[in-house]
Amino acid sequence: MDIRNIAIIAHVDHGKTTLVDKILHQTNVFRANQDTGELIMDSNDLERERGITIFSKNASVVYKDVKINVIDTPGHSDFGGEVERVLKMADGVILLVDAFEGPMPQTRFVLQKALQLNLKPIVVINKVDKPNCRPDEVHDAVFELFFNLDATEEQLDFPTFYGSGKNGWFNSKNEQSEDITPLMDGILQYVPAPKVPEGNLQMQITSLDYSTFLGRIAVGRVARGSISEGQPFSLMRTDGRIQKSRVKELYIFEALGKRKVTEVLAGDICAVVGIEDFTIGDTIADIENPEALAIISVDEPTMSMTFSINNSPFFGKDGKFVTSRHLRDRLMKETEKNLALRIEDTDSADSFLVYGRGILHLGVLVETMRREGYELTVGNPQVLVKYIDDKKHEPYENLVVDVPSEYSGKVIDLVTQRKGEMLIMESKGEMQHLEFEIPSRGLIGLRSQMLTNTAGEAVMAHRFLEYKPWKGPIPGRSNGVLISKNQEKTTGYSIDKLQDRGKFFVDPGEDVYTGQIIAEHIKPGDLIVNATEPKKLTNHRASGSDDATRIAPKTLLTLEECMEYIQQDECIEVTPKNIRMRKVILNEDERKKSSKSMQSEAVG
């Protein structure tokens, strides 16, 4: 059967998953009366809640007797590791670009990877129905981007389609059409069929699936030869070992599911059941003359966090998995499929250093573990420092902010305070387009401040650039925190009296413990407060004065906001039901001793 393998790449929120929906509907994957909802491929709970794609996924459709394997990829730079490995399965890419925003930092990142692999690009300019859209300017900007990324002459001659994924039409003329047929024809016309070299079996495992019945399933594209059910093969490990194994069952992708087959030929994407111990990047090769494919290279992590067991007074109340052994096993299991993640042991048996691409990358891991029933403590995020020629270097990022003109001054002020340098400032309709170069450290906590200062109007995106010399100290949080003095339930009476001291993160009636952060102080410096004191009862009735307490609702912080908020001596307690911020050392006297000894060491 004729095959096309295509990956859909784009910046976050430019419409990849919506386009996949339209392709599935166009090829009659569903019954006419079937209610499928939207964003069909974003099947994970976290993806649906956040409205972003986190894991790359495969689907397969048949159009004009040609099988098209579609790979939906994440658009967020923190999940770039997912994109880098699945591009190996494709022969062509659809680069989706928003007709108003144009190419964004992540567009550049994924396009560069695709061009390096010599994939055939098709450019789709989406959302041409938006007000203020500028499809012709965006087309020129995309061409310039290709040119800057050293695309070949053949790649520079890319076909362009215009349309609206939401309204379900795409064509090459930027005039509304019936459906996405012109784009589907374009895929058949411009994306080459897989090139199959002569030789024995070669298939690289580029992602993994899991089934409670079948166990771990290896997914990849057969690069050479063919693979069949019951066939013995050599599994060539990334560490150089070779182990013999046998194919138990073989599946190909069909629509949104899989279909069992007896043989898969080179060029198709398939799932292999029966391999006990494998990692992404391993090669399934011929039993007699095994030859390995090149190992998948993934960009290095830029940020680290300490994951420890939960040692708060409320330890073990919510979670099923609370020991360091549980934590270690779960983190090691994650590294098997999450290539951009690295785990290191620390001096303590209860703590592990986890390296990732950014706060969102690490935050999604913590959130997933929490939902699985794990209790843990996570520390303050740190950027990775390298010493090059005995000089300290840190990661820098390219930061792009689109904001209404009246707020541009505030944005520039915020970024320059954090050692950012402005590179570009230009108008896009009523919006101001700003580009900066900023140390990765400066991005921690920047998003929430920027949204506060721009009334939620700023659209911010960033991408790792390179390591450059250390920029010196960057100011962190300006305000201190209010810390609970004792362990009890908070009372409305106490919180009411303390409201003028800060913004509270807890409501009356919540359990708190000594050393827990319960509010943000209105001034610099920390303050220990008693928020659990009840009102003393007297035999005097005060008419109406009890009703007069007006307590502002608590400030709810998401997990990522907590990660950006905490300082060096603070951490987050994460359980299936609660996220609490606390001091690393709960006892006040021990905290003072520790800070004195650290100061004397610094002076010494």
Of 562, 83, 583, 85, nearest to 367 by C-alpha is 562
Per DSSP, helices labelled H in 117-241 are: 135-148, 153-156, 181-190
User: Which fold is adopted by the domain 386-469?
Assistant: Alpha-Beta Plaits (3.30.70)
The pairing of strands 386-388 and 391-404 is antiparallel
Q: Is 61 annotated as a binding residue?
A: no
Hey, how many other C-beta atoms are within 10 angstroms of the C-beta on 139?
Answer: 19
CA separation for the pair 214, 400 (Å, rounded): 45
* Alpha-carbon separation of residue 69 from 1, 72, 187, 520 (angstroms): 12, 10, 11, 51
Burial class (CB in 10 A: 0-12, 13-18, 19+), 118: exposed
Q: Is 53 annotated as a binding residue?
A: no
Instruction: Name the token pair of 72.
Output: 């939906």
Q: Is 127 annotated as a binding residue?
A: yes
What are the residue boundaries of the structural domains of the chain, listed by start?
2-190, 202-285, 300-312+326-375+477-604, 386-469
User: Average of pLDDT values for 223-228?
Assistant: 89
Query: How does residue 31 score in pLDDT terms, banded at 50, 70 and 90?
Result: very low
Of 206, 66, 87, nearest to 95 by C-alpha is 87
**Is residue 79 scored above 50 in pLDDT?**
yes
- Asked which of 109-113, 429-433, 531-535, 598-602 is least confident by mean pLDDT, the reply is 598-602
Mean pLDDT, all residues of the chain: 85
- Asked which of 141-150, 449-458, 526-535 is least confident by mean pLDDT, the reply is 449-458
Q: Which residues of 411-442 are buried (b: 16+ CB within 10 A; e: fewer)?
A: bbebbeebbbeeeeeeeeeebbbbbbbbbbbb
Residue with tokens 């799932």: 271
Q: Is 128 annotated as a binding residue?
A: yes
Sign of CA pseudo-dihedral 23, 25, 29, 35: positive
Contact 235, 275 (CB under 8 A): yes
Contact 533, 491 (CB under 8 A): yes
Burial class (CB in 10 A: 0-12, 13-18, 19+), 46: middle
The pairing of strands 579-583 and 570-574 is antiparallel
Of 3.30.200.20, 2.40.30.10, 2.140.10.10, 3.40.190.10, the CATH number of 202-285 is 2.40.30.10
**Is residue 444 scored above 50 in pLDDT?**
yes
CA separation for the pair 355, 358 (Å, rounded): 9
User: Average of pLDDT values for 530-544?
Assistant: 74
CA separation for the pair 281, 297 (Å, rounded): 9
**Is residue 306 scored above 70 in pLDDT?**
yes
CA separation for the pair 582, 589 (Å, rounded): 15
User: Average of pLDDT values for 569-597?
Assistant: 90
Q: Is 129 annotated as a binding residue?
A: yes
Instruction: Name the token pair of 139.
Output: 């087309």
- CATH placement of domain 2-190: 3.40.50.300
pLDDT at 32 (0 to 100):
47
Count CA atoms closer than 13 A to 342's CA, side-chain side.
Answer: 11
Of 254, 99, 120, nearest to 187 by C-alpha is 120
| Residues 483-514: tens digit of each pLDDT | 999 999 999 889 988 999 989 999 999 999 99
Q: What is the DSSP string of 463-476?
A: EEEEEEE-------
- Percent of the chain at pLDDT > 90 equals 24
**pTM (predicted TM-score):** 0.81
Q: Is 18 annotated as a binding residue?
A: yes
Residue 355, strand partner residues? 304, 342
Q: Is 323 annotated as a binding residue?
A: no
Residue 374 per-residue DSSP state: B
The pairing of strands 92-98 and 2-10 is parallel
Is 300-312+326-375+477-604 CATH 3.30.390.30? no
Q: Is 126 annotated as a binding residue?
A: yes
Q: Is 98 annotated as a binding residue?
A: no
Sign of CA pseudo-dihedral 445, 448, 450, 452: negative
| Residues 133-168: tens digit of each pLDDT | 888 899 999 999 899 888 888 889 999 999 888 888
Q: Give the three-class secondary structure for 335.
A: helix
Is it true that 300-312+326-375+477-604 and 386-469 share their CATH fold? no
CA separation for the pair 204, 200 (Å, rounded): 13
In whole angstroms, what separates CA 52 from the centre of its chain?
Answer: 8
pLDDT at 59 (0 to 100):
82
CA separation for the pair 413, 458 (Å, rounded): 14
Hey, how many other C-beta atoms are within 10 angstroms of the C-beta on 515?
Answer: 22
Query: How does residue 592 score in pLDDT terms, banded at 50, 70 and 90?
Result: confident
